[in-house]
Amino acid sequence: MAGPFCILISLFRTISIQDDTIFINEVHYQNTGPDVTEFVEVAFVTGYSLAGVRLLFYDGGTGSVYKTTNLATDLSISDDDPANGFTFASYSVYSFQNQVRNGPDAIALVDGSDTIIDFISYGGEVTASDGPAFGQTARLMEVVEASNANPTSSLQLGGSGFRPTEFTWQGSQTATPASVNSGQTITCPNSAIGNTPLILSSERQSVRERLDGLEIVPPSP
């Protein structure tokens, strides 16, 4: 289980909220010239164990796995973002012998027990015919990269939320590997305690900064 990242402030107490969220956050699979800058970024609550977690690349024509990236051991660049409690890890997935295919194809995020955490496709619908995602149809991104895309561009999740289904895939724009996406705000889950507001960590302010200058006046007896 990951460490706390959202902080709930009430008048007399501070409550930490935990979560084990992880999802595919950014993809670059195609550009003009050699696709040497191909990468997939995964976002997860800081402290989440990547042991056994893999990216499986599915061929859209056959539905079979053609490539695997192990998140705990394969080369990546990553950054912990204290402002929102997430880590953004970007994995270079280019291989001259086995490049990421240009679609319609799919990418699955799988944990150590072969449970599908996230499963996305680009360029068209893809249903897996083998591997942990067997029989499942990937969630279509509904945006694609053009064959003449800039090598420094990518497709990114945007909007406000905490889980992948709360965001929307945005069209090609300048890549942001190992950092929060352009147009993306990470927000804390809804409070389970009435309408008590949560501090939104994506506002890039520490709790202390948010509380500076705040004066709490106790009620009169």
65 domain-assigned: yes
203 domain-assigned: no
10 domain-assigned: no
Rounded Cα gap, residues 53 and 219, in angstroms: 52
81 DSSP β-pair partners: 86
213 domain-assigned: no
Q: Could you give the number of structural domains in the chain?
A: 1
**Residue 167: which domain range?**
21-186
111 domain-assigned: yes
The model's pLDDT over 86-128, given as tens digits with 9 standing for 90+, comes to 999 999 998 766 889 998 999 999 999 999 999 999 999 999 9
Q: Are 63 and 126 in contact (CB under 8 A)?
A: yes
11 domain-assigned: no
Burial 83-112 (b: 16+ CB within 10 A, else e): bbbbbbbbbbbeeeeebbbbbbbbbbbbbe
Helix (H, G, I), strand (E, B) or coil at 210: helix
Helix (H, G, I), strand (E, B) or coil at 38: coil
The model's pLDDT over 158-216, given as tens digits with 9 standing for 90+, comes to 999 988 999 999 999 999 999 999 999 998 765 333 333 333 333 333 434 443 444 44
Rounded Cα gap, residues 56 and 100, in angstroms: 11
197 domain-assigned: no
Question: What single-letter DSSP state applies at residue 134?
Answer: T
206 domain-assigned: no
The model's pLDDT over 9-53, given as tens digits with 9 standing for 90+, comes to 333 333 344 456 899 999 999 999 988 999 999 999 998 999 999
